[in-house]
Amino acid sequence: MCRQRGGRVLLLFIGGIALILLIGYHLVQRLIWNKNVPCVDVQHHDQSSQIVDVRDYNNLSEMTVSGAIVIPIPYLKRYYHEIPSKKVHLIAGNQLEKNIGVRFLQKNGFDVTGYSLAECTCSNHSKDIVL
């Protein structure tokens, strides 16, 4: 009986370690996912990339860009297939919209070449996405 309990404890210990490693891997992947997407002023973005504006319709008056495809975050899952190019420059209203948009687009095979925020001027041009 003591031997059976020792085997169960070892099995639970190994299962616990595996679960911790799996959760750790998921967290690391989540943090690395959005790195190296630079903050670029929309006038200086890569001309071969399609501009996608994920801001809410109520916030579009702050900064309008001609030729941009407007797909607010709540509609991105439904209409992302209408983006004609796989290279995308993202315009977002805040950090949260940017993080959600970049993560979703990268997950679905898009190359996000840069982003612009309506609430900042991107004077740094090298900001990484912070979660």
Render pLDDT for 28-81 as a digit per residue (tens, 0 to 9). 766 665 567 888 877 777 788 899 999 988 777 666 788 889 999 999 999 999
Q: Going by C-beta distance under 8 Å and a sequence separation of 6 or more, which residues neighbour residue 50?
A: 69, 83, 84, 85, 87, 88, 89
What are the structure tokens assigned to 124, written together? Answer: 């740094």
Whole-angstrom Cα distance, residue 109 to residue 85?
11
**Closest Cα to residue 92, out of 81, 104, 82, 84?**
104
pTM exceeds 0.75: no
Q: Domains of the chain by range and CATH?
A: 42-117 (3.40.250.10)
**Closest Cα to residue 72, out of 62, 83, 57?**
57
